Structure 1
Amino acid sequence: MRLVPVAAALLLLPLVPAAATAAPAGTYYVTGVQSGLNVANTGSAVALHRPKGNEGRQQWSLRDGRFEDVSSPGSCITRSLGIAPCSREDTVHTPRQVGDQWEIFGIGGETRWYLTPTTGGTAPMPADPRLDQMTFLTSHNAYANGVDGGFAPPFVNLAPNQRRGLTQQLADGVRGFMLDIHQTPDGAILCHNSCTLVSRPVALWVDIQRIVDFLAANRSEIVTVFLEDYVSAAVLRAELRRVAGLNDVLFRAEGVRENGWPTRSRMLADNKRLLIFTDHAKDGREDSGVLYQRDWTVENYWSMGPGVGNSDWSCYSRWDGRPLTATDTFRPLFVMNHFRDVPMTATATTDNAKLADRAQRFCQPAARKKPTYLAVDHYHLGDPASAVARLNTYTYQP
């Protein structure tokens, strides 16, 4: 767990003008705008921890200017950032609003905070939701399935991430696909770490063609591809040029920065229903319509732990400098990873059954947005589709 030391001498930061709105009473997570970390009670003082629901004593009841530890009633944060009985005068703070952020106490260099209700506001899903209001079932390492191709032996046989081929995944309702691509003399090949020992290698264009053909036959569907990208821009461009009909359906994010994400009906009407993201820094590949993922999404850390044993449900960014709470001129899409280091079937079944709970109680308030993509191993186990259906019944506002 990451801890940020707290200097006992730090006092209240200067407040904005007195006319600013005071924070309403309620139960909150107090999240640093820059770090995305939550204020937590360490016993004698407060520090910044990775968001983890209330397992790390991170929920605070705000009443009359006092932040009281929900897990330890009567214990409040002092102005010197210690923990003391709430009856003491130095536990009274004056949070003041600055946009959707607040100025309170200073911890670890943070000067602005989000006060996120532990139970966020929800509203029924609109009839025509925006892309960022929807949630999609996403297949982690979708290519490593033992049907189409996968890891180099023996791992594809011992621990595949999925058990069904990509065409079946599409038929089963998977709408997000995480694909690793590596460069070989044959182009961009789907594999993990090395393609030299894969018995049935699959080229990227083959799976993209499967997806484009599916979209042509299913005009009401939207699909997203996430590339863990180890090829050159030239190889990627050449690979995508082999896909018949790609440009007809490829979504290029035009106007999103100015107007936000389009609605479902607009995407269907424009027939721009395939998003392709790459984790590779910009170097010309965006000319092919591939989007640099860090520009458009936020994503939590990729692993919950080893293949067996206890899992880590904390929800924090996998990218330094871009917290899950990051906002731009639009609302970034939220990729929520929910899988282990090693995809054991029994563990995945248990984890997938808890997907909705983690998404709603842990990751949703940590990001201050609803997950757009729920990424899992063995999507056919533990009924993660039910979690997707549950999240698609509402919109979320912190």
Structure 2
Amino acid sequence: MVTVRYLPAVAALLLLPLVPTAANAAPSGTYYITSVSTGLNVAQSGTGLALRRPKGNEDHQQWRLSDGRFENTDSPGQCITRQLTMGSCSQGDTVHEPKQFGDQWEFFSLSGQSRWYLTPVQNQTDPMPADPRLDQMTFLTAHNAYANGVDGGFAPPFVNLAKNQTRGIVQQLGDGVRGFMLDIHQTPDGAILCHNSCTLVSKPVALNVDIQRIVDFLRNNRSEIITVFLEDYVSADVLRAELRKVQGLNDVLYRAEGVRQNGWPKRSELQAANKRLLIFTDHGKDGREDSGVLYQKDWTVENYWSMGSGLGSSDWSCYSRWDEKPLTATGSFQPLFVMNHFRDVPFTGTATTDNGKLGNRAQQFCQPAARKKPNFLAVDLYHLGNAAQAVSELNSYVYRA
């Protein structure tokens, strides 16, 4: 089901009486109007309005702003009224008095959701600096990197039918993959890489084995930066024990010291300190962060993981995986943006087509939805559809909201 939240038509027909720190006219141009609190976009819905998941302009989410009027680009001459309906732009009650609060605006009141972002439809960019910060860079990321049929896989029969990747971790590193999504489950042997259940996995691999491969690669490639995302179903003690087995891990593990105060470091700073491996866990805080892993919700935003089933049409909308933290979330530092771009089940033909559209979805759908450039492009079968080209394109510029 696509989320649709209708705006009250009469209950909120007043402009907010708050006094802003500065009052400016809304800029002219074509924009998405995004709720600060939910990350949903204002869309035209018949003669009224709705809040919908960001989806480009596939369902009337683009608005032309001029002289305090909000005209829907799919309905020329039709503007948002103060009653939160659609009416002729020539009507007096389609003129709003926007008030600016930093990068947020107030135009109209609706169910307590009163602050909005105006995000340009056309991406605004600056050239990529020679020494970018971590949050300005984009990395090719392998979804379920361990489920590759070479050095790990699902339990039968899925290992043969639906591998997320077809190349082992070592080759993935050589091919330029710099983000690795790994699922770990607890067994008597420790933290094992598998999906849902480790029973009957044809080639079980322990987490320490793949982390060691990554650390060894970093030791031999001093300029590279790698990130690991753990879907984590093990105890804190098991995770600690597993990481202690990795030789040289502490030499390269980055613990995000000072990021809350100073923002993310530059590439050269990570290289100079030799702290070039980030490990995130989706497991709630229970002390495991003492081992150097970072709780992902504290440091990143992430869109919903699935574009749909393995076959047929896909859902290109870009909205948060976590209801409590929209993609637009920011704070004392810019959260890293993990962009998921894969289906429920990987099929070669579908992945080839989807990966060929990766750059387009990143730039036209997910960047404006998050008001930031994706830092990690996570795909199935990364070698198909030229996902690396999308990464290269995003690494040519810095997104400016």
Normalising by the smaller structure, the TM-score range is over 0.9
Distance 1:207 1:108 in 2: 49
Aligned to 1:320: 323
CA shift for structure 1 position 15: 4.5
**3-state DSSP of counterpart to 1:258:** helix
User: Pick from 158, 161, 164: which aligns with 2:164?
Assistant: 161
**3-state DSSP of counterpart to 2:373:** coil
User: Pick from 109, 113, 122: which aligns with 2:112?
Assistant: 109
Aligned to 2:3: 2
**3-state DSSP of counterpart to 2:260:** helix
Mapped contact 1:178–1:228 kept (Cα < 8 A): yes
CA shift for structure 1 position 19: 4.9
Distance 1:146 1:19, change over 3 A: closer
Distance 1:210 1:111, change over 3 A: same
CA shift for structure 1 position 379: 0.2
Q: How does 1:83-162 map to 2 (within 5 A)?
A: 83-162=86-165
Mapped contact 1:25–1:62 kept (Cα < 8 A): yes
Distance 1:229 1:212 in 2: 20
Mean CA deviation greater in 271-280 or 13-22: 13-22
Aligned to 2:27: 24
Distance 1:83 1:364 in 2: 27
Q: How does 1:1-398 map to 2 (within 5 A)?
A: 1-9=2-10, 10-11=12-13, 12-17=15-20, 19-398=22-401
1:349-376 deviations in Å (ceiling 9; x for gaps): 0000000000000000000000000000
CA shift for structure 1 position 346: 0.3
Distance 1:373 1:245 in 2: 25
**3-state DSSP of counterpart to 2:6:** coil
Counterpart of 1:29, as a letter, is Y
Aligned residue pairs: how many? 398
Mapped contact 1:183–1:231 kept (Cα < 8 A): yes
Mapped contact 1:257–1:329 kept (Cα < 8 A): yes
CA shift for structure 1 position 327: 0.5
Distance 1:239 1:18, change over 3 A: closer
RMSD (Å), alpha carbons? 0.9
Mapped contact 1:48–1:107 kept (Cα < 8 A): no
Mapped contact 1:338–1:376 kept (Cα < 8 A): yes
Moved over 4 A (4+): none
Distance 1:371 1:161 in 2: 21
Counterpart of 1:90, as a letter, is D
1:213-247 deviations in Å (ceiling 9; x for gaps): 00000000000000000000000000000000000
1:307-361 deviations in Å (ceiling 9; x for gaps): 0100100000010110000002000000000000000110000000000000000
**3-state DSSP of counterpart to 1:128:** coil
1:42-96 deviations in Å (ceiling 9; x for gaps): 0111110000000010000000000000111111000010001101111111111
What is the TM-score of this pair, normalised by structure 1? 0.99
Mapped contact 2:22–2:99 kept (Cα < 8 A): no
Question: Which structure 1 residue ranges, 5 or more long, are not aligned?
Answer: none
Distance 2:175 2:21 in 1: 56
CA shift for structure 1 position 18: 8.7
Distance 1:359 1:41 in 2: 24
Mapped contact 2:184–2:230 kept (Cα < 8 A): yes
Distance 1:254 1:18 in 2: 33
Mapped contact 1:15–1:103 kept (Cα < 8 A): no
**3-state DSSP of counterpart to 1:229:** strand
Mean CA deviation greater in 291-300 or 85-94: 85-94
Counterpart of 2:294, as a letter, is L
Distance 1:172 1:383 in 2: 12
Distance 2:101 2:22 in 1: 11
Distance 1:269 1:134, change over 3 A: same
